[in-house]
Structure 1
């Protein structure tokens, strides 16, 4: 059997079948980390703002978005596992540079802005608990996130990312210290309600733009490729058909669990904001730190501390994913040696991209740029660039030229195209909100 390195050179591998019954931590990998990183500080701000403004009335969107998230992320994972290339690598191989380079360039810009917003939120959150100037914490978090990716061994790094996902439990814990109107929550979650207003439309667009983002596609596909390099018993499915059943089952379970965690945490944040902030007529939430600060007088200091722990923990998880997905995309587009399993001296441009993206993102907090405006434009850029990337991913995943005999089945096609249609509607909605504003 053989696999491919970043330059499409074949590397000999032994014909060992992927284990059929891996341990739980072996199953929960790229999908879990991807799902957990989706609830980054920027996402926390979005869910808090929606819960504060509309109480339980927009929670139904998470029930609707879940199968769409699962489908498009499974497709991303299978694309990487089947071909041995990430999203950008497949775009480069099967399409021209006029499509690849703009998509990767816009992804890099959006990710840097998102990194800046996330690190800024982490700094503000640390200030709430420790005190002192938030910019000191911003600088510390920026350097720490860059250093972890560059200098830590890949296996240890992935293990840390998995454990950092436990920080999301802080938002589950807050549910036990707030008073929830379960009847209103049930109605809001299972009975879709739409308000034809600019604010509500913006909220719906923000939720979908937060839960279905291009960097998640790039990261999960590239992590499947990374696992091929790291685990000698695995080969691209096109070269190792005997591994297909177990590999696809693992990707399915990993992604279903990861996206389930992501949506449940998003729901927990929205419910917490609805039960506390909205119930006390606090609706002006502009950041995750604002949400944590507002919780203290209505839900107690303990709830605020839990919220802050979640912000810092998810930020430490999400920032490396944002920087890493940008580096994978750029590296594959330009045929650089890529991969966190490589030593820095063997993939200098790849690691330089990680460092520059992280540190430039952190530096945005020192520039005077309004973080809320920056985050809004990041969401707009992500929403717009997601559509063509999803369209091309769907075409590639159904193409025998790309996937061989392992093209996606009917259900993934249906939900994948539904997800693409939903993001197209969101992109149009974003354009409408620009005029409404």
Structure 2
């Protein structure tokens, strides 16, 4: 009997160990597939079919490298990226980044709230979409203020399961897997404005600056709460890589299957323009059936509940670290009033966009523009910090990390240049 139990424990131990390692990297990667990201991936599939599937293979190693740098900075410095920028670099760099990043995050929050409200209304039409938006925002505020960091982290990890819904969807409809393989491994590039615009949008949505700040701060938070060893050794760094790589893999898998679903269903069904997440779900219903429609819609609500706390939290940590406020999701409201008030304000401003009838499409466009312009600057700073021995000591970037980081910088710079070109022409 004892031998049987010990055998079972040994068999389970690798899985249990793996699950325990998962944390900030998993949540960061999962939050990248928010409702606004879903719109971008859905539009890519609807407009160009399977032709952009290959982008998921490209963005995975690049995302993993950049977020890995952020995680290592958080572990080694035990502080957020904003603090590191404030202490070691000219203030104009930090203030410039904040000036551009804050509006983009607020618009991103607003687009996600609008998307969730629209999907809620679609599932139960008797309640208006704005009412859903208010209710969901109130629930998010309550969770963020009421629960300590450990509880919020656990909630976010469980919400990551909602992304699995999108991996199921493509298997509910007929697929030409030979074509899927072809477009996955053989890149398709068209030198026209529409195709290049969607590539820029995919990059801007996938490699987003707010993720850099969240990842770094959450690694520092895990240190502060004893989730990881205070001594940054090879084991801690190895576990961090597993966590980050798993999160980025999940993020890009969802992106891949989202493009696959909309590319094989909507594009083939003659639906070539998607402006909102509820529009994508509605378009799927007559073409792929009620089950696919319901899974897609429920996934939007789950990813929104996951992404919005990350967006609002990242913004508030950035502000608190810049101004020297007491900050931390582990603190009670009275211990960090300014920090929590800034979260509340960001959620309310995002919610207000719904009532001012701000177009979600325009919101996403402005968000993509600002992210696209700030990402190259931040990636350059991450590379500099990651190779700065004064900050990172013996844990500077590896050759592979630098190579992938530089590739990301060049690609995001090219995307930013293309974005500016599209706006001018």
Task: Work out whether residues 369 and 419 of structure 2, in 8 Å CA contact, stay in contact via their aligned partners in 1.
Answer: yes
The partner residue of 1:102 within 96, 106, 111 is 96
What is the SS of the residue equivalent to 2:271? Answer: coil
CA positional deviation for 1:21: 11
- Name the counterpart of 1:13: none
- The equivalent residue for 2:374 is 385
CA distance in 1, matches of 2:51, 2:115: 26
* Residue 226 of structure 1 pairs with residue 221 of structure 2: yes
Q: Pick one of 293, 297, 300 that aligns with 2:286.
A: 297
In structure 1, which of residues 142, 148, 162 is the aligned counterpart of residue 157 of structure 2?
162
Cα distance between partner residues in 2 of 1:151 and 1:356: 16
Does residue 61 (structure 1) correspond to residue 55 (structure 2)? The answer is yes
Q: Which runs of 5+ in 2 are unaligned?
A: 1-13
| Corresponding residue of 1:24 | 18
The aligned residue for residue 189 of structure 1 is: 184
SS at match of 1:155: helix
Deviations, residues 146-168 of structure 1 (Å, cap 9, x unaligned) = 22111112111111100000001
SS at match of 1:280: coil
- Is contact 2:54–2:183 with CA below 8 Å preserved after alignment? yes
Residue 82 of structure 2 contacts residue 322 of structure 2 at CA under 8 Å; is this kept in 1?
yes
Q: Deviations over 1:31-88 (max 9, x none)?
A: 0000000000011010000001111111111111110000000000000001111111
Could you tell me which of 331, 338, 350 is aligned with 1:361? Answer: 350
Once residues 21 and 352 of structure 1 are traced to their aligned partners in structure 2, the CA distance between those partners, rounded to angstroms, is 39
Aligned pairs, number: 411
Contact kept, 8 Å, 2:33 with 2:251, in 1: the verdict is yes
User: In structure 1, what is the Cα distance between the partners aligned to 2:249 and 2:93?
Assistant: 32
Q: Return the match for 1:47 from 41, 47, 62.
A: 41
The equivalent position to 1:140 in structure 2, one of 124, 135, 145, is 135
Measure the CA separation in 1 of the matches of 2:227 and 2:358.
47
What is the DSSP-based 3-state SS (H/G/I as helix, E as strand, rest coil) of the residue aligned with 1:137?
A: helix
More displaced 10-residue stretch of structure 1: 64-73 or 342-351: 342-351
For 1:5, the equivalent position in structure 2 comes to none
TM-score (norm 1): 0.92
What pairs with 1:339-358 in structure 2 (closer than 5 Å)?
339-358=328-347
Shift of 1:392: 0.8
Residue 390 of structure 2 aligns with which residue? 401
Displacement of 1:274:
0.8
Q: What residue is the counterpart of 1:9 in the other structure? A: none
TM-score, normalised relative to structure 2? 0.94
Alpha-carbon deviation of 1:383? 1.0
Paired residues of 1:104 and 1:333 also in contact (CA < 8 A): no
- State whether residues 68 and 418 of structure 1, in contact with CA within 8 Å, keep that contact through their aligned partners in structure 2: yes
Stretches of structure 1 lacking an aligned partner (at least 5 in a row)? 1-19
Whether the 8 Å contact between 2:222 and 2:228 is mirrored in structure 1 is no
Partner SS state of residue 273, structure 2: coil
Aligned mates of 1:233, 1:289 — CA distance in 2: 40
Q: Which residue of 2 aligns with 1:429?
A: 418
Aligned CA distance change for structure 1 residues 295 and 89 (closer, same or farther; 3 Å): same
How many Å apart are 1:22 and its aligned residue? 7.6
**Is 1:178 aligned to residue 173 of structure 2?**
yes
Which residue of 2 is the match for residue 8 of structure 1? none
Q: Is the 8 A contact 1:113 1:375 kept in 2?
A: yes
Q: 2-side partners of 1:358 and 1:84: how far apart?
A: 27
CA offset at residue 232 of structure 1?
7.4
